[in-house]
Every structure is written in C-alpha cells, then in structure tokens.
A = this chain, B = another copy of it.
Amino acid sequence: MVILEHMKETDHESLTRLVAEGAGEYLRHLSVDSVIFSFHEGKLKVLLLRMKDLPQYALPGGYVRNDEGVDEAAHRILAERTGLGEVFLEQCGTFGDRDRTGEDRGEGLFRSLGADLPPGNWLRERFVSVSYYALVNHDLAHPQPGFFATECSWHSVTHLPDMIFDHARIIRKAQETLKQHLDYKLLGSNLLPETFTMNELQRLYEAVLGRTLLRANFQRKMLGLGILERLDKKFGGGAHKAPYLYRFKLLEH
C-alpha cells in the first residue's frame, strides 16, 4: 500500500516551527529511528519513507521531546507512522559514529523539504540515533508519510532501495537482532494473523532467517515448544482436506 501526500500548508508550518523552536522542545543530538517489519505475501517487509526531491529512502524516525522517555518517543513515532498502538518494539542498537550522516548532516534533507537551516541551528548538529525494530501486522498498519516524506510504503528486505545516512546498516542490524530473537521470543504473534497454518508459520521463519527449513523438523520443533494451540477443523465442504489452523497460546510479554 502506497500513500502519496503532497505537502500541505500545515506541514510547512510544522517544519518551520521544528527548525526555529525545536531546540527548546526536543533533546538535542538525539534521534530515534525504527525498522518496522511486517510479513506479507511470504516476504519480510520493512516500512520506508521516500523523502521529497531526494533519491534516497529513510527509516521512519523523529526526535525525543524534553519531557518524554526515549522508548516512549519510539512508540509515539511508530503510532504516528502506522496508526498502531500496542506493538512489539525493541531497541536494536544506538548508532553514534561521528560521520554517520555524512558531511551534509541532514542539511540536504531539510533543503529538499523547503527549509534552509540557519548557521548554528540545532538540526545542523551531529545526531546520535537510538534505533528500534518493530513487528507489526501488515493488514492492521496504515502507513502515513507525515510531513517529512511524500511516500510511506513497504519494501521487501531482499530488495531495498538506496538508503540515506547509515539507515541501510541499521536495517541489517535489526534483521540480525530479529534472527537472534526468533529463538527465544515468540515474535510471530504480531507478524501473523490470529490463526495460521503450519506452512505459513514456516514461511515466516524462512523469510526472517533467509534460508529454507525442512518441513518435518520445523513442525516437530514448533510443536515441541508448546506455544501453539491447534484449532478444531470446522465441519463442511472439504474441511477434512484443509490444513490445521494454529494460534499462539497466551503470551508472556
């Protein structure tokens, strides 16, 4: 799903205010970026923003309010971009290399949005990004570009476009973290519909791990974890041939 939104007057006002007054409203030097994953049509996807008049894409992100926790800021920004409230969101690393945004330090980005940053403006300073990864249900998310971008859309992690700053590196780190977490957290719950077949679950694992798994081994391992509940088949035409449906048991969170 792609939503195109042209800049409205209110967007330009928001931008002007961010440049002029943001230093008093937000923590300086600090931004939050989120790698928002979903699972759709058998593929692991990530939500990216297309920046106005720039060739690169960017992760959904934002700044931390003076009176707001860093994790809170990440939840707020995720809700603004997807319309989703309670979702799995966890840190995957803080990116603070000296030159991570290049010599330009984001000036080009703001120029492309119609804002020239005055010398000494807080947005020209160096930024450190606290990065998160989120798992959302593809069908429930409603991507919103916000005033920084013209487009907010899903991209397959295996075919990423050119990314701004160190955002490609952040996505790789989020993928690694997701792989590691698969083994001990029940991450499927947000990425799959409420009920699913064993085959759908296997395809999710394969998409995350980036390799194929043996069907019999996978089923044995998953059932052995004791986290799945098998539903009774409905009576009716052909139900005896349909695959079993499963759902996750009540999760500890």
Contacts and interface: CB of A to CB of B under 8 A. Distances in A.
A71 B184 CA distance: 27
A22 B126 CA distance: 16
Copies in the complex: 2
Contact of A64 (B28, B67, B93, B96): B96
Contacts of A126: 27, 66
A95, A128, A184 — most chain B CB neighbours (10 Å): A128
A243 to B, nearest CB: 33
Interface string A1-38: 00000000000000000000000000111100000000
A130 B94 contact: yes
A180 B177 CA distance: 12
Nearest to A130: B94
A94 B66 contact: no
Contact of A29 (B28, B97, B180): B28
A69 B94 contact: no
Given A91-B93, A94-B91, A70 B128 contact: yes
A221 to B, nearest CB: 16
Interface string A114-137: 000000000000101010000000
A68 interface: yes
Give the dominant DSSP class at A's interface.
Answer: mixed
B91 A70 contact: no
A241 interface: no
A98 interface: yes
B69 A27 contact: no
Contacts of A94: 70, 91, 94, 130
Given A27-B128, A91-B93, 18 more contacts: A27-B126, A29-B30, A30-B30, A30-B128, A64-B128, A66-B126, A67-B98, A68-B98, A69-B96, A69-B97, A70-B94, A70-B95, A70-B96, A70-B97, A70-B128, A72-B98, A91-B94, A180-B184
25 contacts: A27-B29, A27-B126, A27-B128, A28-B28, A28-B29, A29-B30, A30-B128, A64-B96, A64-B128, A66-B126, A67-B98, A69-B96, A69-B97, A70-B94, A70-B96, A70-B97, A70-B128, A71-B97, A72-B98, A91-B93, A91-B94, A94-B94, A94-B130, A96-B130, A128-B130
